[in-house]
Structure 1
Amino acid sequence: MPDISIKNIPERVLLRLKAQAKKNQRSLQNELLNILETAVEPARLSLEEVHSRVTVSGLRTGSESVQFIREDRDAR
Structure 2
Amino acid sequence: MNTLTIRNLDSAIKDKLRVVAARHGCSMEAEVREILRQALMPSKPDRGLGSRIRARFADEGGANIDLPLRTDAARPARFDEGTTT
TM-score tier by shorter-chain length is: 0.5 to 0.7
Q: State the shift of 1:50 in Å.
A: 1.4
TM-score scaled by length of structure 1? 0.60
* In 1: Cα distance, 2:44 partner to 2:51 partner: 14
Kindly tell me the number of residue pairs found equivalent between the two proteins.
55
Amino acid at match of 1:18: R
2:53 matches 1:50: no
TM-score scaled by length of structure 2? 0.54
Runs of 4 or more off by more than 4 Å in structure 1?
A: none
What is aligned with 2:38? 38
Q: State the shift of 1:42 in Å.
A: 1.9
* In 1: Cα distance, 2:51 partner to 2:9 partner: 41
* In 2: Cα distance, 1:52 partner to 1:28 partner: 36
What is aligned with 1:16? 16
Structure 2: 5+ residue stretches without partners: 53-75, 77-85
Q: Percent identity?
A: 25
CA RMSD of superposed structures (Å): 2.6
User: Which of the two has higher C-alpha Rg?
Assistant: 2
Higher percent of residues as helix: 1
What is aligned with 1:26? 26
